[in-house]
Structure 1
Amino acid sequence: MQSHEAHELPVTVQIDGETGRWSVDGLPMVLVPQHLLVNNLDAVERHVGRDCSAELFRGAGRSSARHWCAHEATRLGLSGAAIVRHYLDRLTRRGWGRFEIDELDPVHGVLQVRVAHSALLSVAGSTRSVDRACYLFEAWLEGALEYASEDSSRVAVREIQCAVNAEECVFTSN
């Protein structure tokens, strides 16, 4: 059995004393159990299929990544590859998985990222059996890369390997 030690959060959480709402770096946050997220993805995938689910979430994911990058770029004065690196570091620190960049050139829309320990994989009580379980990250990576590019052109990112059947997920721009 794996031991779980208590640690300080790797991000600073501000809590509004009046409303109880959480924020990190000035953006509202919600702490949810991983099984809630995974079970909701399971339900959507069973209802509409994995490919339709991926398209359903793609616009929202891309837009959310762009919004986050714009907020952090203004707050920290980051741009280009630095904002993408910061975005992936913060995803890692917030528990989505361990994001590692193998290749990054926002000007040319080039990105290759590996993700170990993805939060989107099956957890106890879920029935996820899709071969690209972590496809939500595709849109997030697209949005961050598009924000960082000089011409903001659309890029496509695909999960070409998933930790469902491998040691880690791999994402690449086309």
Structure 2
Amino acid sequence: MYMDMDRGELRFFSEAQSALMESVLNQIIPSDDKYPAAGNLGLVAYIDKVMFDPIYLARHDKSLRRIFIEGMHQIEICAANKFQGAFVSLVSDQQIAVLKTIEEELPEFFNALITYTYNGYYTDYRILKICGAPTRPPQPLGHKLPDSDFSSTELVKSRGTIYKEVD
């Protein structure tokens, strides 16, 4: 499955938090000659959607939302303490220094941030297209067997019946 980033109305991030996250994501996956930066790709919208997805939220002992709110707050505090400015106004090297500090001090937040950044980035149809990967679901177009070729089931069939018949 691939993601199509819809920048629609954000439900979790405020405007300021959205700008902060875009800058953070652009440092985690910066642009190069071939690939766009993660923040510029619209991953803020993807992470915003994650914050309301019960499957993603169930993976964490603590509230994923709380982890992100605290992480964003600490990014701003660290930026102000180290460089007397807001994270979004810092130059790239300063932003990287702040994120390295956050990585050390808030590993749970940083690991979640990296996980959802990579998940969103590498499932985006635009990135898949650049990589040359198919932008379709893997099934039902997965592995194609020649018609009537059941040779791959021989091992299973040779085991015989391993279940109990029900009357």
For the criterion TM > 0.5, the same-fold answer is: no
Q: Which has the higher contact order (CA 8 A, sep 6+)?
A: 2
**Bigger helix share:** 2
- Tell which structure's C-alpha radius of gyration is larger: 2
Instruction: Give TM-score scaled by structure 1 length.
Output: 0.25
Instruction: Give TM-score scaled by structure 2 length.
Output: 0.26
